[in-house]
Amino acid sequence: MLSVEEALDKILARFSVLSSENVSILNSLGQVLSKDVFSSIDVPPADNSAMDGYAVKSKDTAKASKTNPVILKVCGSVSAGESFSNSVNSGQAVRIMTGATIPKGADAVIPFEETDEDSRSLLHTSSNEIGILTEVNTGSDVRPYGQDIQNGQLVLKSGKELRPAEIGVLASLGLSEITVTRRPKVAILSTGNELIKPGSEIISNKIYDSNSYSISSAALKCGAITQILEIGKDDFNSLTSILNSIDDFDFLITSAGVSKGDYDIVKDVLKNHGEIDFWSVRMKPAKPLAFGTFITQKGKSIPHLGLPGNPVSALVAFEQFGRPSIRKMMGKNHQPRPTVRAVLEDPIYNGDGRRVFARVIVTKNNEQYKAKLTGHQNSNLLTSMAHANGLAICPENEKIKNAGETVEVQMIDWPEEMKL
């Protein structure tokens, strides 16, 4: 029986980083840069105002105070996106808005709050003059050109995962497209004569296919492009026909057909078109696992991960093996889910020496994480996974984790309202 780590190492060894593609920056969220990004401009492109106020010569404000204001002549105004055509001379000021280019001759900005503009407005006095109430130094409230990014600068390195901030930086450089590692295309196949598609009328002895949708959603969350294939029936020719349509995919994920008691037809089809190993992994749920390569009609080798049929087992196995595989194809480093140490509110039993992943709800109270089981832990109870935000781990060598003991919890979903 393989350990979780041994199984993961064997699986990840079969994957490599995919090729690059050019995409719109708006569609690149979560993708990884495959080229360094250099700037061809300065950001900002010119000195600009950090405040709404008045652009002035700093030397004109010498000894200015509320009791001894310096009176300057207002010779114009400028807002962001516009330019002031004249120069600011000694004794002059230009009314300026945040982000506007600093006029020639000016070297500082006086915020409105440090002038007598409000009192002049109340008293209906001349707007052609302004009283400066404080002394400022050169560069005060001026954002210099290139302060953020300089022309020719290496801005983002290859291998960087793009978050909203990085996409904003790319936009600030004037880029509309970017070169990234492409998203993997993942084919999702559920097998079993008992399955019917959601949306159809329920039939006696049939159940709705949930695995295709939960696994597809999990893969989408990782950044993949997914397609749910037609439900695979326990028929050699039917299943072969479905699998012969996946030439354009990078990864095949199936559910069911990997346990000892399953129909051999699924295994026969997969063995007949490549290679497949059936493993027992020292984990609960998801002990049975299959991994191998499917060879398409056109001779393309596609890695294949065979998940158990029970809904919880399928999701837990995907978390441990499918998610890291997709991340590797996208050029991302292997990064396990974050973990916390939490006090159990219910016991976790381990009767057969496997690593138990118990579905729990993690909360935080008085700086202490607590973990409560979501209910019965049978692997067919999908709601036990739906209610969980973490997987509490009982190690292979421990028969029980008692209530009150501290355990490691793998956080599969970090609630925004929960503080670190």
What domains appear along the chain, each with residue ranges and CATH number?
4-18+183-329 (3.40.980.10), 35-44+149-181 (3.90.105.10), 48-143 (2.170.190.11), 339-411 (2.40.340.10)
**Banded pLDDT at 113 (limits 50, 70, 90):** very high
Q: For residue 127, what pLDDT is reported?
A: 77
Q: For residue 262, what pLDDT is reported?
A: 58
Of 83-87, 125-129, 155-159, 358-362, give the lowest mean pLDDT range.
125-129
Structure confidence by residue, pLDDT tens digits, 258-316: 766 656 577 778 788 888 887 899 999 999 999 999 998 889 999 999 999 999 999 99
Mean pLDDT of 20-43: 98
Q: Could you give phi then psi for residue 408, rounded to 5 degrees?
A: -85, 135
Q: For residue 234, what pLDDT is reported?
A: 79
Q: Is the pLDDT of residue 39 over 70?
A: yes
Q: Is the pLDDT of residue 29 over 90?
A: yes
Q: For residue 224, what pLDDT is reported?
A: 98
Q: Is the pLDDT of residue 124 over 90?
A: no
Q: Could you give phi then psi for residue 41, rounded to 5 degrees?
A: -140, 165
Q: For residue 258, what pLDDT is reported?
A: 72
Q: Decide if 208 contacts 45 (C-beta within 8 A).
A: no
pTM, two decimal places: 0.91
Structure confidence by residue, pLDDT tens digits, 155-214: 999 999 999 999 999 999 999 999 999 999 999 999 989 999 999 999 999 999 999 999
**Banded pLDDT at 233 (limits 50, 70, 90):** confident
How high is the mean pLDDT of the chain? Answer: 94
Residue 264 tokens read as 């051999």
**Banded pLDDT at 238 (limits 50, 70, 90):** confident
SS3 166: helix
DSSP conformation letters of 2-70: B-HHHHHHHHHTT--PPPEEEEEGGG-TT-BBSS-EE-SS-BSSS-EESSSEEEE-GGGGTT--SSSPE
Q: What is the CA radius of gyration of the chain?
A: 32
Q: For residue 278, what pLDDT is reported?
A: 76
Q: Is the pLDDT of residue 148 over 80?
A: yes
Q: For residue 271, what pLDDT is reported?
A: 80
Q: Is the pLDDT of residue 367 over 80?
A: yes
Share of residues in the chain with pLDDT > 70 (%):
96
Neighbours of 416 (CB within 10 A): 6
Helices (H) and strands (E) in the chain, counts: 9, 27
Structure confidence by residue, pLDDT tens digits, 328-355: 999 999 889 999 999 999 999 999 999 9
Give the integer Cα–Cα distance in Å for 109 and 135: 11
Q: Is the pLDDT of residue 230 over 70?
A: yes
